[in-house]
């Protein structure tokens, strides 16, 4: 993996997006994306863990033998998650109340261990950090996107309670569609699956269209 | 019920190809079968619609123009969604087979007759897009599209989906005319108190949650009427239960559906209802009210019997039907919603692949486990 940083960034943000392409970390994706704010908060918390864990794993990759690497990675990630959990509880208590359980579950977020295993343990510190940022932001983007769609369809709002997460100066993000109470189903789990399914279908259709020459047949994407 | 997917008992597969059409030279001999029974998807759909027509017309007469408008908008939404999906996916249009119209028809029958028009339009789009085309269209959907849409609407818009009205037959004083009906369907003004009502199942559920004795509730004057004549609040496909029953029996005798599945659904609902009512009449509705209320008849004859989403074998159909009936009774008696037919159908739909796997017909010459039978004299 030569350090083509632009390529790494592109991979994380879109081409190899954690949710839309690797289809990893679907549990937090389904569970917390009931609103854009929750998705954003969860995404940023995961990104923080991912960046630091990627950097640390890359740093120690030569001194950890491959037989014990998984336990070492897990301890490392668990430590970071505990730090994030406590920090959120201390400084963003309201968000912590919403995300509560899922913050602790970042430790088993397969995307994080997956990046440690697939990328950071084989790459340099800089490349791993960039990969962590790109993957994390890609994940954040996906979660925020799903959260916004579900929130808009399900409750008629956008970024409700964003000021609690980002501070009062971000209250302008909060929007409300007047006269629309929302379709409750979109907030419930089926709404999450439906939104993710349609977004995946749209992504695949867009990619197929991009790859196919005009007028040609659509390629079969596996 | 929706379109046949080919296989199955007593179903004529769409196999025989007429020796004509583009690319076929005149007089060409095509592979067998050469005789065609005349069965086709569109013919089946047409028969089902014919069976539904009397009850639907009765519903139109009873609930007036708003019901007609809602019905038409739901059908139009289904047809448009089907066309749009197939256009988008670059597939050949299957509008001609009538399955989209039938889906919309069944969905419209399950809606409150004076529901706002957008409910019907949204429901029609959901039924076709999420319930059917997402899975690959006709014959591929694991769940009944109309019931998917109904459940989505019910969970999402509980208020609009439970606004029942007392019948104001066309021509009677106070019945909305064409234009007024259009206003009701499009603008959805708040219903006048004189017209808003509860369906029987909803009324019973409310009274039960207040701790009332059902036996007294049923005798009270405030209780919505409940009889087989159908002059009572409910959805289009609920009130005309007798006409629906007649339509269903017509389908059975026309060979479109088997009798096992409807019988199993009705039995599965009636037996627990009989036992429950006998043991605790204050807590459980009597069996006849269960049979005449809600989507019982519509569900048993027209929805559960969907070729695509029901098991293939007779044994499987019994199991499937009994499951729907029992689940409906359980949901009605213990669940949070007054009516459970749609949920029961969807739950059992999910089991159909397992049922079909488990209750496979015995292969000729082999026992149930697939071992060859012993030959006589061996």
User: How do residues A144-160 score in pLDDT, each as one tens digit?
Assistant: 999 999 999 988 888 88
Q: Where are the beta strands (DSSP E) in chain B?
A: 164-165, 196-197
Q: Does the predicted TM-score (pTM) go above 0.80?
A: yes
Q: Is residue A123 part of a domain?
A: yes
Position B304 scores a pLDDT of 93
Q: What is the C-alpha separation between B74 and B60, in angstroms, rounded?
A: 14
Q: Is residue A169 part of a domain?
A: yes
Q: Is residue A63 part of a domain?
A: yes
Q: Is residue A129 part of a domain?
A: yes
Position B70 scores a pLDDT of 93
With a cut of 70, say whether residue B3 has pLDDT above it.
no
Q: Can you spell out the DSSP letters for B212-273?
A: --HHHHHHSTTSPP-STT--SSS-HHHHTHHHHHHHHHHHHHTTSS-SHHHHHHHHHHHHHH
Count contacts between A and B (CB, < 8 Å): 16
Position B362 scores a pLDDT of 82
Residue B28 forms contact with A (CB below 8 Å): no
Q: Is residue A111 part of a domain?
A: yes
Please list every residue in chain B whose beta carbon sits closer than 8 Å to the beta carbon of residue A193: none
Q: Is residue A78 part of a domain?
A: yes
List, as ranges, residues 113-132 from B with C-beta within 8 Å of A: 130
With a cut of 60, say whether residue B10 has pLDDT above it.
no
pLDDT over 70 for what percent of chain B?
88
Q: What is the C-alpha separation between B111 and B75, in angstroms, rounded?
A: 12
**Smallest CA–CA separation between B242 and chain A, in Å?**
34
SS3 B284: coil
CB atoms A184 and B152 under 8 Å: no
- Based on the structure, what is the number of domains in chain A? 1
CB atoms B134 and A183 under 8 Å: no
With a cut of 50, say whether residue B7 has pLDDT above it.
no
Across A48-70, average pLDDT:
91
CB atoms A188 and B152 under 8 Å: no
Position A2 scores a pLDDT of 47
| Sign of CA pseudo-dihedral B64, B68, B74, B77 | negative
Higher pLDDT, B257 or B12: B257
With a cut of 60, say whether residue B310 has pLDDT above it.
yes
Q: Is residue A213 part of a domain?
A: no
Mean pLDDT across chain B:
84
B327 within 8 A of B300, measured Cβ to Cβ: no
Residue B134 forms contact with A (CB below 8 Å): yes
User: How do residues B176-225 score in pLDDT, each as one tens digit?
Assistant: 878 888 888 887 777 776 667 777 788 788 877 777 777 777 766 556 66
User: How do residues A92-150 score in pLDDT, each as one tens digit?
Assistant: 887 788 777 778 878 878 889 889 988 998 889 999 999 999 999 999 999 999 999 99
Letter string b/e over residues B34-67, b meaning 16 or more CB atoms within 10 A of that residue's CB: eeeeebbbeebbebbbebbebbbebbbbbbbbbb
SS3 B169: coil
* Beta pairing, strands A175-176 & B164-165: unpaired
pLDDT confidence band for B343 (50 / 70 / 90): very high
Show the tokens assigned to A15.
């081409």
Taking any CB pair shorter than 8 Å as contact, residues of chain A touching chain B are 182-186, 188, 190, 194, 197
Residue B188 forms contact with A (CB below 8 Å): no
Nearest to B298 by CA among B330, B336, B337, B269: B269
Show the tokens assigned to B134.
């997402």
Phi-psi group of A221: left, alpha or beta (phi > 0 → left; psi -120 to 50 → alpha; rest → beta): beta
| Sign of CA pseudo-dihedral B290, B296, B301, B307 | negative
Nearest to B70 by CA among B197, B191, B182: B182
Nearest to A146 by CA among A206, A195, A109: A195
Give the H or E element holding residue B111: none
| Total residue length of chain A | 222
CB atoms B155 and A197 under 8 Å: no
Contacts of B173 (CB under 8 A, 6+ apart): none
Q: Is residue A104 part of a domain?
A: yes
User: How do residues A1-45 score in pLDDT, each as one tens digit?
Assistant: 445 888 888 888 888 888 888 888 888 888 888 888 888 888 988
């Amino acid at each position: 993996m030569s350090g083509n940083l632009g390529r790494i960034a592109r991979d994380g943000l879109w081409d190899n997006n954690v949710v839309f392409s690797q289809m990893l970390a679907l549990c937090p994706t389904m569970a917390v994306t009931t609103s854009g704010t929750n998705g954003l908060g969860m995404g940023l918390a995961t990104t923080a863990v991912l960046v630091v864990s990627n950097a640390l794993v890359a740093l120690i990759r030569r001194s950890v033998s491959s037989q014990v690497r998984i336990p070492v990675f897990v301890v490392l990630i668990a430590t970071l998650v505990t730090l994030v959990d406590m920090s959120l509880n201390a400084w963003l208590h309201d968000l912590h109340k919403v995300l509560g359980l899922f913050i602790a579950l970042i430790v088993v977020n397969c995307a994080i261990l997956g990046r440690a295993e697939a990328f950071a343990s084989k790459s340099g510190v800089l490349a791993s950090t960039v990969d962590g940022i790109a993957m994390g932001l890609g994940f954040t983007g996906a979660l925020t996107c799903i959260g916004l769609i579900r929130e808009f369809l399900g409750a008629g709002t956008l970024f409700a309670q964003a000021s609690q997460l980002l501070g009062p100066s971000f209250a302008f993000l909060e929007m409300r569609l007047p006269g629309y109470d929302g379709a409750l189903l979109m907030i419930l789990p089926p709404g999450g699956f439906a939104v993710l399914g349609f977004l995946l279908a749209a992504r695949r259709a867009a990619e197929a269209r991009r790859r196919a020459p005009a007028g040609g047949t659509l390629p079969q994407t596996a | 019920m929706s379109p046949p997917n080919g296989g199955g008992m007593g179903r004529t597969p769409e196999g025989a190809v007429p020796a004509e059409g583009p690319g076929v030279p005149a007089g060409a001999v095509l592979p067998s079968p050469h005789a065609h029974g005349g069965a086709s998807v569109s013919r089946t759909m047409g028969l089902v619609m014919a069976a539904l027509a009397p009850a639907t017309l009765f519903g139109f007469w009873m609930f007036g123009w708003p019901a007609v408008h809602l019905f038409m908008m739901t059908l139009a939404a289904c047809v448009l969604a089907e066309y749009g999906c197939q256009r988008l996916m670059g597939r050949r249009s299957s509008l001609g087979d009538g399955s989209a119209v039938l889906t919309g028809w069944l969905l419209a029958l399950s809606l409150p007759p004076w529901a706002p028009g957008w409910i019907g339009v949204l429901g029609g789009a959901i039924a076709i897009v999420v319930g059917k085309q997402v899975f690959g269209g006709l014959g591929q959907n694991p769940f009944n599209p109309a019931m998917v849409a109904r459940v989505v609407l019910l969970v999402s818009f509980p208020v609009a989906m439970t606004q029942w009205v007392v019948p104001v037959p066309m021509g009677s004083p106070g019945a909305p005319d064409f234009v007024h009906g259009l206003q009701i369907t499009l603008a959805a003004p708040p219903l006048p108190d004189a017209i808003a009502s509860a369906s029987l199942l909803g009324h019973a559920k409310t009274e039960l949650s207040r701790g009332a004795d059902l036996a007294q509730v049923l005798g009270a004057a405030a209780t919505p009427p409940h009889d087989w004549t159908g002059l009572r609040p409910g959805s289009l496909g609920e009130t005309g239960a007798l006409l629906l029953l007649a339509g269903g029996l017509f389908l059975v005798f026309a060979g479109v559906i088997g009798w096992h599945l409807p019988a199993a659904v009705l039995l599965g609902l009636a037996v627990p209802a009989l036992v429950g009512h006998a043991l605790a009449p204050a807590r459980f509705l009597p069996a006849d009210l269960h049979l005449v209320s809600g989507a019982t008849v519509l569900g048993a004859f027209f929805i559960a019997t969907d070729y695509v989403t029901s098991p293939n074998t007779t044994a499987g159909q019994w199991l499937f039907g009994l499951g729907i009936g029992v689940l409906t009774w359980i949901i009605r008696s213990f669940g949070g919603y007054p009516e459970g037919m749609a949920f029961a159908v969807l739950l059992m739909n999910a089991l159909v692949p397992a049922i079909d796997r488990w209750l496979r017909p015995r292969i000729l010459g082999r026992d149930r486990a697939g071992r060859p039978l012993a030959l006589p004299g061996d």
